[in-house]
Amino acid sequence: MALSVGDALPNATLLRIGAEGPESVEMDTLTKGRNVAIFGLPGAYTGTCTTAHMPSFIRNMGGFKAKDVDEVICVSVNDPFVMDAWGAATGGKEAGIAMLGDASAAFTKAIGMNWTAEAVGFFDRSRRYAMYVEDGVVKNLHVEEGPGVCEVSAGESLLAVI
């Protein structure tokens, strides 16, 4: 399914590092009755994700809070240990961004954002996107046309339409 504005997000189990180690969290639980910004990216520690995409959301956390966004969530097809370490390394965790691993790509596939780039070892990774979701329904969706670009999916672009 290719996700569109007006669609309800499909539920999926994602992983994060909690106080006791890895823990599962349901997308439904994160979005039900809440306003959330979700951004997806090809991979932790990759170039554009580290130098542009994550920093654009860190810079705009105050703006998201001012617009009553309950949570900003970063999703990548990585394991929760990698997401946690990358969140610490980039300052995303300190800024309050929830770092979620979609290790099996279940969520990424369910929203139609998966792609493969064998030459760099990416299999069923995520396209770069950002969305604003109210009570589980997609209100705005920005998807980059190609890898290595972070313009329409940047934090500033999503914040401007909320």
Matching residue, tokens 């980059």: 144
State the DSSP code for 8.
B
74 annotated active-site: no
Catalytic residue among 14, 17, 27, 49: 49
73 exposure class (CB count in 10 Å sphere: 0-12, 13-18, 19+): buried
Task: For 5, list phi and psi in degrees, rounded to 5.
Answer: -60, 135
CB 110 within 8 A of CB 10: yes
Contacts of 126 (CB under 8 A, 6+ apart): 40, 41, 42, 75, 76, 77, 102, 105, 108, 113, 114, 115
Catalytic annotation, residues = 49
